[in-house]
């Protein structure tokens, strides 16, 4: 019971603060009415010890008399003046109704304020502070402190009036805090990691799996992580996570710390593939680099994320590669001289600089020759995307792609290996 005395002495006498009954009630988790009595008692005992040590404001509620209303209009705050001047008019036009007045009164003016009341139905100490209350704006600041507290805790335990019929929305929309992907992660992870563990051994046998960060992180931003083989279109739509991708990728990679280049539009398939290319690149770098946003994540979480990432990209790679094998293959076999003829014009787009390394994508124009249906040799130019990083020699003499859509698969064909991943590996190792 003496808690409050200590607390109030600390806040009011030592720290020069104004304490309202609501703040006290929230802080001590006591009923508002008890808090009002505590304020009164503290005020009484302190002033008995040393008069004028603390100053109180009172909240008075009741019916004012007509004369009292007038005098309030004269010396009260501006709000009162309108009312008193308008009161006679209202009476002439309309029914008169009882007016109850709730007013906040500093200790010094309590007696004269009370004189304006015909009847007071309730009075209590609103706040106490070390100085006489002159400006209620200061009091408002003190009162506003409670709003933050009230939002934080449940509030129901000490609410004066509860409402048993209160209804909340069943499915809450993504609140301001859950906008970040963090809220989604705990749900998604267990399933994914299990799957990843089950599938990991098989994959390891095949070959080392390069992570495919773009798709993985895209997945993370949507909450569709549990689906093992999401449709490519879904990924594409989700790929627009922009900056989020960069962050979550950095957080998710335990060994490598190259955040993905943020795609300008996050749009098409070629973007994805280009970035997977990058991922491969990263995989070959042995030493870990500084991580940016991984501080908050535990190592285990990161490992899980990595597993998931690997698992995801694996599924990812296999499916399209099977589908698009034939279209990619065809031009390759038909036009062996393409590499020699190809010439690139470059424009850089979406360069990002992370960890001191410049990486990004550039648009290149490639020439290629094909034999058309009538047997003529036709040279066509087509744009393609190519990603690069600074440590690579910027102009790649070796043309990576033929079709603009699937650089990875194209390269894989040249390497003569079966799967997309293998081809990427060989592509880089050749360099």
Partner 1 sequence: MVTLDEIADLGLLQKPSGNEPSPLERSESNYKPLDSFALPKDRQYQQQFADIYFLRLAKIKPAVEAVANAAWEDTFLGGETAQQMERVLDVRQGQLCWVIGTVYMDMPLKPSVLEDVSKDRWISAPITTDHYYTEDGGESMMLEDDSGRIRLVGSILKDYFVVTGCIIAVMGTENVNGEFEVIDLKFADLPPQPARWSLSTPSSSSTAKKNTRKIKNEDVEMSDLAQASKKIAIVSGLEFSGTDTSYTMELNLLLEFLLGDALHTPVQTELSQISRLIIAGNSITKTDDATTTTTTTTTPGPPKKPHTKKYGYDSSSYNPLPSQLLDTFLAELLPTMPITLLPGVLDPATASYPQQPIHSAMFPKARQYGPPPAAAGGADEPPGWLDAATNPWEGEIEGWRVLGTGGQNLDDICKYVDSEDRLGMMEAMCRWRCSAPTAPDTLWCYPFQDDEPFVMKECPHLYFVGCQPEFGTKIIEGPQGQMVRLILVPSFAATREIVLIDTETLDVSRVKISA
Binders of partner 1 among 167-186, rule CB under 8 A? 167-173, 175-176
Q: Which is nearer to partner 1, 169 or 299 (CB)?
A: 169
User: Is position 377 an interface residue for partner 1 (rule: CB under 8 A)?
Assistant: no
Q: Check residue 5 for interaction with partner 1 (CB under 8 A).
A: no
In whole angstroms, how far apart are CA 69 and each of 22, 24, 114, 357?
Answer: 28, 32, 11, 75
Q: Would you call 117 helix, strand, or coil by DSSP?
A: strand
Q: Tell me if residue 331 falls in helix, strand or coil.
A: helix
Based on the shown chain and the rule CB under 8 A, indicate whether residue 3 belongs to the binding site for partner 1.
no
155 binds partner 1 (CB under 8 A): yes
What gap in Å lies between CA 13 and CA 7, rounded to an integer? 10
Q: How far apart are CB 242 and partner 1 at their closest, in Å?
A: 13
Could you tell me which residues come within 8 angstroms of residue 216 by beta carbon, excluding any fewer than 6 positions away?
249, 252, 305, 308, 309, 312, 313
Q: Which residues of 135-169 are buried (b: 16+ CB within 10 A; e: fewer)?
A: eeeebeebbebbeeeeeeeeeeebeeeeeeeeeee
How many other C-beta atoms lie within 10 A of the C-beta of residue 343? 12
The answer to whether residues 424 and 277 touch, using CB atoms and an 8 Å cutoff, is yes
Q: Which of 118, 345, 382, 391 binds partner 1 (CB under 8 A)?
A: 118
d(CA 264, CA 282): 21
| Contact mark string toward partner 1, 88..117, x via CB under 8 A | -xx--xxx-xxxxxxxx-----xx--xx-x
Residue 59 sits in the site that holds partner 1 (CB under 8 A): yes
Binding of residue 139 to partner 1 (CB under 8 A) = yes
Q: Of the two residues 141 and 348, which places its CB atom closer to partner 1 in the complex?
A: 141
> How far apart are CB 69 and partner 1 at their closest, in Å?
9
72 binds partner 1 (CB under 8 A): yes
Which residues between 225 and 264 bind partner 1 (CB under 8 A)? none
One of 121, 153, 197, 371 touching partner 1 (CB under 8 A): 121
Q: Give the sign of the dihedral formed by CA 404, CA 405, CA 407, CA 410.
A: negative
Nearest residue (CB) to partner 1, 4 versus 427: 4
Reported residue count of the chain is: 431
Give 98: exposed, middle or buried? Use CB within 10 Å, 0-12, 13-18, 19+. Answer: exposed
Residue range at the interface with partner 1 (CB under 8 A); choices 55-63, 201-209, 268-276, 311-319: 55-63
The answer to whether the beta carbons of residues 250 and 214 sit under 8 Å apart is no
Q: Which is nearer to partner 1, 265 or 371 (CB)?
A: 265
CA dist 39 to 18, 54, 125, 144, 155, Å? Answer: 11, 10, 7, 18, 21
Using CB under 8 A as the binding rule, whether residue 31 contacts partner 1 is answered as: yes
Candidate segments 83-91, 219-227, 344-352, 388-396, binder of partner 1 by CB under 8 A: 83-91
* Segment interacting with partner 1 (CB under 8 A) among 150-158, 193-201, 219-227, 283-291: 150-158
Among 19, 38, 238, 408, indicate the residue that binds partner 1 (CB under 8 A): 38
Restricted to residues 294-313, the positions that interact with partner 1 (CB under 8 A) are none
């Amino acid at each position: 019971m003496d808690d409050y005395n200590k607390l109030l002495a600390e806040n009011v006498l030592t720290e020069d603060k104004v304490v309202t009954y609501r703040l006290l009630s929230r802080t001590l988790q006591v009923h508002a009415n008890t808090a009002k009595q505590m304020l009164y008692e503290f005020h009484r005992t302190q002033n008995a010890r040393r008069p004028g040590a603390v100053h109180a404001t009172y909240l008075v509620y009741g019916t004012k008399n007509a004369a009292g209303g007038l005098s309030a209009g004269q010396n009260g705050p501006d709000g009162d003046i309108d009312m008193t001047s308008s009161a006679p008019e209202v009476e002439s036009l309309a029914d008169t109704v009882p007016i109850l007045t709730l007013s906040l009164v500093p200790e010094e003016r309590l007696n004269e304020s009370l004189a304006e009341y015909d009847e007071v139905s309730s009075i209590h100490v609103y706040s106490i502070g070390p100085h006489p209350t002159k400006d209620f704006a200061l009091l408002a600041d003190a009162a506003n402190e409670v709003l933050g507290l009230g939002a934080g805790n449940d509030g129901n335990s000490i609410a004066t009036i509860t409402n048993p019929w209160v209804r909340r929305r069943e499915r809450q929309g993504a609140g301001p805090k859950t906008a970040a992907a963090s809220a989604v992660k705990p749900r998604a992870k267990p399933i994914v990691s299990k799957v990843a563990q089950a599938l990991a051994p098989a994959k390891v046998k095949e070959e080392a799996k390069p992570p495919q960060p773009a798709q993985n992180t895209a997945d993370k931003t949507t909450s569709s992580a549990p689906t093992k083989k999401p449709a490519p279109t879904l990924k594409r739509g989700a790929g627009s996570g922009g900056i989020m991708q960069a962050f979550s990728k950095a957080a998710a990679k335990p060994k490598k710390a190259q955040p993905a280049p943020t795609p300008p539009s996050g749009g098409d398939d070629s973007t994805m593939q280009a970035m997977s290319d990058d991922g491969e690149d990263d995989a070959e770098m042995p030493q870990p680099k500084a991580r940016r946003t991984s501080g908050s994540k535990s190592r285990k979480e990161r490992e899980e994320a990595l597993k998931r990432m690997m698992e995801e990209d694996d599924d990812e790679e296999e499916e399209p590669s099977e589908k698009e094998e034939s279209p990619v293959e065809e031009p390759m076999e038909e036009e062996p001289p393409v590499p020699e003829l190809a010439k690139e014009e470059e424009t850089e787009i979406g360069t990002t600089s992370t960890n001191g390394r410049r990486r990004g994508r550039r648009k290149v124009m490639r020439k290629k020759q094909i034999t058309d249906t009538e047997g003529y040799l036709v040279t066509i130019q087509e744009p393609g995307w190519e990603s690069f990083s600074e440590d690579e020699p910027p102009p790649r003499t070796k043309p990576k792609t033929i079709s603009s859509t699937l650089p990875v698969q194209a390269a894989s064909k040249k390497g003569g290996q079966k799967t997309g991943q293998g081809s990427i590996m060989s592509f880089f190792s050749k360099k």
